Amino acid sequence: MATDSFRNNEIAVVALTRKGVALGRRLKTMLPGSHLYRPEKFGAGQENEHLFASAVKEVVNEVFHHYRYLVLVMAVGIAVRLVASPLRDKHQDPGVVVVDDAATFAISLLSGHIGGANRLAQRLSSLLGSQPVITTASDVAGTIPVDLLGREFGWEMEDNSNVTAVSAALVNEEPVGIYQDAGEANWWPQPEALPHNVSVFSSIEALSAAACQAALIISDRIFGQRTQASLPAHTIIYRPRSLVIGIGCNRGTKSSEIEAAVNTILAEQGLSIKSVRNLATIDLKQTEVGLVEFARRYGLAVAYFDKESLSQADFPSAPSAAALSSVGTPAVCESAAILSSGNAALITPKVSYQRAVTIAIARLPATGRSKPGGKLFVVGIGPGDAEQMTFKAREAIARSEIVIGYTAYIQLIAAFLGQKEVIATGMGTEVERVKRALSLAREGRTVSLVSSGDAGIYGMAGLVGEMLGQPTGAPPDIEVIPGVPALAATAALLGAPLSGDFAAISLSDYLVSWTEISQRLKLAAQANFVIVLYNPKSRQRQQELTRAKEIIGQYRSPLTAVGIVTNAYRRKQQITITDLAHMLDYEVGMNTTIIIGNSTTSVSNDWMVTPRGYQTRYNLKDGA
């Protein structure tokens, strides 16, 4: 259950104006499976569009309780009037997000937490480059959303009557204690960044002894009365899915007997049924009506194992001759619990209940936070224009607290930065940038290190990789997000010059010697590769391009097609198609990429094309 996934048929987008409808259509493509409701007057409908001629109020009334989320593309005032009449309460109403026609803001209007509108507003903002507007107190204060804690892991609250009181203690910055002994550990992005009024205790006794106003406990254990009484009055117990119950039963055992067995043994062991992740048994029991019925009633999945696997598991109790003769394995419940939990320890070895049911319980080890550090995204932002940036890149930036990059690139993505901490540094400070990004991620922060084009093509990912090898501490969690590289952007603007084999060569001799560069140019030219020249010129380097032209000219005709693109998908974009003989006649700078065709590259109608070879296979001219 990923936190940021929105499922099919869950989202209705409602738009009113022509501009709003255009935005609604973009949203429809970005949120697969969503439906767009829009006025009939704007022409024929497309897939997943519902046209209406009636008043929008009726439409909203009708769809309101049929979708989990509504995105209203309109003014907040109109939206408020529209949702007023179908409103019920926060447990039933959909999450509603309002987006203005220009996508400047994505406003979480209704059911921010439970309905997921806050999450959707964040998601839309990262897709559209809008500013999310979130007004829920716990988000504004950066504190723990008590009603949502662990929801993505399937945690359940033992009892939700204290939610309001505990939330109030958190928001009002009163002392709140936390104790956890089971389940996922990464429920809070950075443990060291918990709100200052929240303290984590290593034992339930220590928590009880402290003077906390409220407490959050994450445990599969049921605490005795004395312990309960010593806890703060406002305590919420979350039940992580940390237990696996291995189960065996006689054929024909009723579901009520299985229920009694499970409940009795869990109670004896002081464990909560709400923490059971699943049941596990032998595959013969797939048709055991009582067991199937019990699992269905409690919403528990059952994992089935064959007798061979069960026989081989490392079960602790004495082998059962009876089980061996009836089902072909000397152990059912213990082996099943061990196998289904991925070899976790049994906290309750086999217990028999009224000679009809046997139960063994395994506890999954606490998971999550394998690395204490934060996260480093190395993000390729594409050539410059926001439209050429991937969704994933926007999302990574949206998730980051800190964004680091070369000043010019930071300016290109200014629309996505909001209130984030930004570290923008000049040319030649790459090593410094990577050092800071790594050290911030090691401190537990979430950082995006941005690179133009693709981060792995003459970009920052290479440097990150090199610096990881240095003994400056454990590597943090790193994810490289690919971007549209300059060679692809340039090629797209020129036509299709890279349809065959090509070689990319950087003319910068800052890190590679000219001897090596010239050798590569020579060999690539000789082998008839299309050649992409990166870094053709800088203020300090003016001669390389002339020399490169001479080398390539030894192997290629002066009539060879050459494409020169400066500032692809940025302001002052310039596209030139010329030939090798004249390529030096045009202005070339730091933001230029040059593509030199091979012997088959041709130019027609301002298209530079390197034929893939279809022409020789099919007769394209006849339309065959």
C-alpha distances (whole Å) from 271 to each of 72, 219, 268, 417 are 45, 9, 8, 46
Report if residue 576 touches ligand SAH, rule: CB under 6 A: no
Q: If you ran DSSP here, which 8-state letter would residue 365 be given?
A: P
Which range in 54-62, 213-221, 319-327, 591-599 contacts ligand SAH by CB under 6 A? 591-599
Nearest approach in angstroms of CB 531 to ligand SAH is 13
Nearest approach in angstroms of CB 412 to ligand SAH is 9
> In angstroms, how far is CA 340 from the centroid of its own chain?
27
- What type of residue is 2? A
Q: Which among 21, 81, 22 has a CA at the least distance from the CA of 55?
A: 81
Measured from the CB atom, is 162 or 452 closer to ligand SAH? 452
C-alpha distances (whole Å) from 70 to each of 49, 136, 213 are 14, 18, 37
Within 148-177, the residues that bind ligand SAH by CB under 6 A are: none
d(CA 27, CA 9): 13
H helices of 239-356, where? 255-269, 289-297, 307-312, 321-327, 333-340
For residue 266, the number of C-alpha atoms closer than 13 Å in the C-beta half-sphere is 21
Nearest approach in angstroms of CB 450 to ligand SAH is 10
Within 446-465, the residues that bind ligand SAH by CB under 6 A are: 451-454, 457-459
d(CA 449, CA 466): 15
Burial of 567 (0-12, 13-18, 19+ CB in 10 A): middle
Report if residue 565 touches ligand SAH, rule: CB under 6 A: yes
d(CA 261, CA 182): 24
Report if residue 388 touches ligand SAH, rule: CB under 6 A: no
- Distant-in-sequence, close-in-space partners of 329: CB < 8 Å, separation ≥ 6: 282, 307, 308, 310, 311, 323, 335
Which range in 65-73, 92-100, 294-302, 587-595 contacts ligand SAH by CB under 6 A? 587-595
Token duo for residue 13: 């987008």
Which range in 253-261, 442-450, 462-470, 567-575 contacts ligand SAH by CB under 6 A? 567-575
Token duo for residue 187: 């429920």
Nearest approach in angstroms of CB 550 to ligand SAH is 20
d(CA 163, CA 160): 6
Contact predicate 64/84, CB 8 Å: no
Which range in 36-44, 164-172, 435-443, 589-597 contacts ligand SAH by CB under 6 A? 589-597
Token duo for residue 510: 């800052």
DSSP code per residue over 404-457: EEEHHHHHHTGGGTTT-EEEEE-TT-HHHHHHHHHHHHHTT-EEEEEESB-TTS
Token duo for residue 9: 């048929």
C-beta neighbour count of 135 within 10 angstroms: 11
Task: Beginning with the edge strand found earlier in the chain, give each strand of the sheet holding 607-609 in spatial order.
Answer: 495-496, 607-609, 602-604
Report if residue 485 touches ligand SAH, rule: CB under 6 A: yes
Nearest approach in angstroms of CB 109 to ligand SAH is 38
Report if residue 348 touches ligand SAH, rule: CB under 6 A: no
Measured from the CB atom, is 383 or 597 closer to ligand SAH? 383
Measured from the CB atom, is 180 or 506 closer to ligand SAH? 506
Chain residue at closest Cβ approach to ligand SAH: 453
Within 244-283, the residues that bind ligand SAH by CB under 6 A are: none
d(CA 207, CA 203): 6
Nearest approach in angstroms of CB 538 to ligand SAH is 8
Residue with tokens 């003016």: 542
Sole binder of ligand SAH in the list 26, 50, 436, 570 (CB under 6 A): 570
Report if residue 535 touches ligand SAH, rule: CB under 6 A: yes
Which range in 76-84, 181-189, 195-203, 484-492 contacts ligand SAH by CB under 6 A? 484-492
Give how many residues touch ligand SAH by CB under 6 A: 24
Nearest approach in angstroms of CB 488 to ligand SAH is 8
Which range in 148-156, 413-421, 462-470, 561-569 contacts ligand SAH by CB under 6 A? 561-569
Nearest approach in angstroms of CB 125 to ligand SAH is 25
Measured from the CB atom, is 257 or 454 closer to ligand SAH? 454
Sole binder of ligand SAH in the list 333, 410, 438, 568 (CB under 6 A): 568
Nearest approach in angstroms of CB 379 to ligand SAH is 11
Report if residue 335 touches ligand SAH, rule: CB under 6 A: no
Interface characters, 489-518, with ligand SAH (x: CB under 6 A): -x----------------------------
Q: Which among 412, 299, 318, 315 has a CA at the least distance from the CA of 362?
A: 315
Nearest approach in angstroms of CB 455 to ligand SAH is 6
Sole binder of ligand SAH in the list 446, 592, 598, 610 (CB under 6 A): 592
Residues engaged in binding ligand SAH (CB under 6 A): 383-384, 451-454, 457-459, 485-486, 490, 534-535, 565-570, 590-593
